[in-house]
Structure 1
Amino acid sequence: MMPTALNPAQTAARLPYPLLVGELTLLLKDTTVQAPSRVVQALPAGGSLFVMPALDARIAITKLITFTPANAGTGRPAIQGDVVVFDVATGQRRLMLDGPTVTARRTAAVSLLAAQRLAPNPKGPMLIVGAGVQGLAHLEAFAEGLGVREFRIASRSAASAQALVHHAQSLGLNARMVFDANTALADCPLAVTCTPASGVVLSAVPRPDGFVSAVGAFTPTMVELSAALCQYFAAKGSVFVDTSDAGHEAGDLLQAGLDVSRFATLADVVRQDIKPAAGPVLFKSCGWAGWDLAAARVALAAPGPVG
């Protein structure tokens, strides 16, 4: 039997943020989880092909996606592809999920989990830098998971920023567009940078109770935060990373000359109940197939046919 192939809306419906955060927590405690380093193959036109496998005692998944930065502003998505879910015991394909939807929702859920555990002041307002798919996902995740009601949206595209503001308002949230992310940071104890990471978008000194989740840069050459800002977090507050793979992927931290291996991972936070030191907190997220595995576990448990 062919597996059920879910479209973006169907995939999103199976991945509610509270369940995703709960499953991420369980996965970080699951000793059967394996997630080899992802394969990133450069494509001739400037994009990349990502192959990301992971497994636990019951299922195995592979996320196969393309990342095409040149699609920005064209109407074509920057991320395209699928997540295929297999039964470990039988080898049967169980489910096919929309790759971009999984990527958006699990990334926002990881940021949400980090904020729940580490943010000194989780009430908001929240600054979102980048008004694309990830900006929308983080807005919805933090509104649902932390009860944030007030947002500031900054984007190089005023039209995109205004569209996200209107979406937030349609959800009953208070949101407005800002033109200077660095100035807005002074009023926002929560922030996320989710841009194409082609240049620095945030450099201002954060609030003492600030929490920034930086998700856009996931290669050594990508960057969203200035070197001075990263160094400030390391010296005056705390830095956490999503996984140890950040040691060779976290462009923001690497370009700041920081020893990434000394920063605790989200698994350390969950397993050891680590608390941040006094001061602002930076959470650097690069992505990991384990997060996609958690999403697959949630999707399989949801009601409905799975093939």
Structure 2
Amino acid sequence: MILIDREKLDQIMTPERAVQAVKEAFLLYSSGKITQPLRQTMTVKGNWWGVMPSLSDNAFVVKVVNVIEANRERGLPPVQAGVLVFSPDTGEPLAYVDGTALTAVRTAAASVLSTELCYGRKVGTLGIIGAGLEAEYHAKIALGYLSVSRLLITARKRHFELAKRVGGEAVELERLLKESDVVFSLTSSKTPVVIGKLLKEDFHVSSIGAYTPDARELDDDVIRRVRTYVVDSLEAVSKESGDFIQPKERGLLEGKRVVEIGRLLAEGGRVERPSLFKTVGIAAQDNVTAYYAYKYYL
């Protein structure tokens, strides 16, 4: 069994490979060619933990992931995870992958893929809300895959440091929302940080936070304005995300195109904007991305 740590994963999973991996994962998921039960969740010492198994033709993968907000004060990423890759044929463990880095890679690649599908690969101004590990990987993969003219970053703290490191500009939230063509919202906030009335007339938003029914990253005005609401999994967001559950209960999704990204990939065609991609993360992404890491390691 091989060990793939963050340093090795960064070498293996180039932006092109990362986006290709999640593209394959979403296609497999929406076509029913990957098996993934809904994640099992537990509360451990007040923190959210999840167990995510999945099976493809190439790999049986299990990820254990948690979100521990107190880690921010410890100087650690709030999301911690480990991923085991097994052969579905022999049952042998093939690899252990740093799941914290893998989660950041596959989540960032999904946001970038949604941007390519809904907006295109040429972006004027990209705004990132957040300054943690996810923000770092979103900046890295976006700048490596898309053509971005300007990068704006905002957060409660540490965005000046991240902006300097990745070549962006640290700004206040209101300015980011007003000036960005594409927004990546990467927060742990339970109340909206993306305010619809502040966004441009034409926009694309990728939101990875609000992964519980009571949490929101997007206000109702964002939902009202979007024409195409793209999700990673209808089943998952219908059970887990307040940004989907609450607007649906209020009738705000009526008349909009709501579509899984895998279905969008399979069908092709033009996406009407403004657009939104809501992702809570699915095991298929971990499965294919971890297998790519194993395959390209050899």
Question: Same fold judged by TM-score > 0.5?
Answer: yes
Moved over 4 A (4+): 258-262
Q: Pick closer, same or farther for the CA change 1:188–1:121 going to 2, 3 Å.
A: farther
Match among 274, 279, 286 for residue 280 of structure 1: 274
Is residue 116 of structure 2 the alignment partner of residue 112 of structure 1? no
Q: Distance in 2 between matches of 1:132 and 1:28?
A: 25
Give 1:251 shift. Answer: 1.3
Q: For the structure 1 residues 184 and 49, does the alpha-carbon distance in structure 2 shift closer, same or farther, using more than 3 Å as the test? A: closer
Please point out which of 237, 249, 264 is paired with 1:246: 237
Residue type of the alignment partner of 1:213: S
Cα distance, 1:120 vs structure 2: 6.0
**2:179 maps to 1:190:** no
* Contact 1:120 1:211 (C-alpha < 8 Å) held by counterparts: no
CA shift at 1:122, angstroms? 3.8
Q: Is the 8 A contact 2:39 2:50 kept in 1?
A: yes
Q: Give the paired residue count.
A: 289
Q: Say whether 1:40 aligns with 2:41.
A: yes
In the other structure, the counterpart of 2:68 is 68
Does residue 303 (structure 1) correspond to residue 294 (structure 2)? The answer is: no
| AA partner of residue 221 (structure 1) | D
Tell whether the 8 Å contact from 1:41 to 1:49 is kept in structure 2 after alignment: yes
Structure 1 counterpart of 2:246, from 255, 274, 287: 255
Q: Does 1:200 align with 2:198?
A: no
CA shift for structure 1 position 262: 6.3
Other structure's SS at 1:268 match: helix
Q: Is this contact kept in 2: 1:268–1:274, CA < 8 A?
A: no
1:111: how far off?
0.7
1:231 offset after TM fit, Å?
2.4
2:223 corresponds to which letter in structure 1?
A: C
Q: Secondary structure at the match of 2:148?
A: coil
Higher mean alpha-carbon deviation, 265-274 vs 96-105, is at 265-274
Conserved 8 A contact 1:238-1:280 = yes
Identity of aligned residues (%): 24
- Distance in 1, Cα, partners of 2:17 & 2:223: 31
Distance 2:120 2:289 in 1: 27
Q: Whole-Å Cα distance in 1 between the matches of residues 121 and 225 of structure 2?
A: 19
Query: Quick one: distance in 2 between partners of 1:297 and 1:69?
Result: 29
- TM-score normalised by the chain length of structure 1: 0.88
The secondary structure found in structure 2 opposite 1:89 is coil
Following superposition, the deviation at residue 250 of structure 1 comes to: 1.9
Q: Does 1:266 align with 2:264?
A: no
The offset of 1:71, in angstroms, is 2.1
Match of 1:229 in 2: 222
Q: Gapped runs of 5+ residues in structure 1?
A: 170-174
CA contact (8 A) 2:21 2:285 kept: no
Query: Per-residue displacement from partner, 1:104-149 (whole Å, max 9, x unpaired)?
Result: 0000001111111111684121111111111111111110111214
Give the drift of 1:274.
Answer: 4.0
Distance in 1 (CA, whole Å) between partners of 2:120 and 2:25 is 25
One-letter identity of the residue aligned with 2:233? T
Task: Say whether residues 1:146 and 2:143 are aligned partners.
Answer: no
Which deviations, in whole Å up to 9, do the C-alpha atoms of 1:34-53 show, x marking residues without a partner? 1111111112x221111001
Q: TM-score w.r.t. structure 2 length?
A: 0.91
Secondary structure of the residue that 1:202 maps to in structure 2? coil
